[in-house]
A and B are shown apart, each in its own frame.
Chain A
C-alpha cells in the first residue's frame, strides 16, 4: 500500500505540474486521496474490528482499528470535496472570463518585465 501511495502522489504531482486547469483539478483530487490513504496507513493498520464499542462493553476493544485517524480522514474527505467543487467553479469562471485555461498565463501580477496584456 505504501508503494501505491507513492504512485498516487507521483500521479498527483504530475497532474499538478501540467498547464491545463483541468489536469490541475484532477491532481488536487488525487492528492487528497493520496493524503487520506497516507494518514490511514501511517496510523498502522493493526485493527481487526471496526471502531465501535460492542454492546455491553464499556470501552473499545483492543483489536479495534484506530478511530482517531478515521475521524480526521472523514473531515478531510468532506473538505476535499468542498475544495474540488470550489476549484471547479473557479476554473469555470476563469474559462468564461479569460477564455483560456492555461495557468502559466494567469500570472500578470508577478512578472517583472511585462505588465498585463
Chain B
C-alpha cells in the first residue's frame, strides 16, 4: 500500500489522522522564517493524536527541529494557528505564564544534549524543571527519583553531565523532561551521533515511553530506527518545508520514489558483475552485493 501523499501545490488538504481521535496538536497553515528571511516551514498542516508515536522524517534543513520548537511554544509562527490540547497556543511564546504550563505538559529533548544539561550534576538537571514549576520538595524528590529510575540513570545522579557518554547524556536529557510528568515528549534527532549500541539502547527507551502512556514525537532522518519506534510517519520535504506524505512505517519505508524525492535515500550508478545499475541506498548504508 502506498503512503498517503499530501497535495504538493496547496497547504496539504489530506486528513492525516483519524478526525475523531483526540488531538494533542493541530497545526493549520503554519509558516515560520528565521529573521524574516530563511523560510523554515511553509503552510504546515498537521494533526497529532493523543498516544501516538509519531516519527517526522526529513532530510537536513526540512524544518523538523523548528517544528518541534513551535510545538513546545518556543517559537511563534509567522502565520497560521497552532492548537495544543484544544487550546490556541499560537502566541504562547509571548506569554510566560501560559508558556510555562505548556512546557510542563510538553517536554522537548534537544538534539544536542550538552545544551540541555547545564546544571552541575545530573540530579540538579533532572530537578530543574520540577523546581521551576514550584512543586514542593517532596514532590520534586519523588518525581526526580522516578524519572531517573525510568531512564535507568539513578547511578549517575551525582555525576557531572560532562563526565557522561553520549548515550548516557541522551538518557539523562529524556529524564530531565520526564520528571515534569509531561503528556507529550518531543525528541529532536535522538540517535544522532550515537554509536550503534547506544542508539539501540535509546530506541528501546523511546519505544518504552509508549507504555508510560505518553504521546511521542520524534524527528529523524535515520530510516533504520523508524519501524522500531513509530506508529505513524510524516515525511517533510526539504524543498517544500512541509509534510508531503503520511502513513504507517511500512508504507512509507517501502515507497522508494518518495524517499528518493525527499532526499532520505540517495541513488547512484555502480557496477554489479558486468552491469552498470542504478540503485538507491539508505544514507550511510553500504552497497549490497549482487
Chain B associates with chain A: no
User: Which residues of B does A touch, CB under 8 Å?
Assistant: none
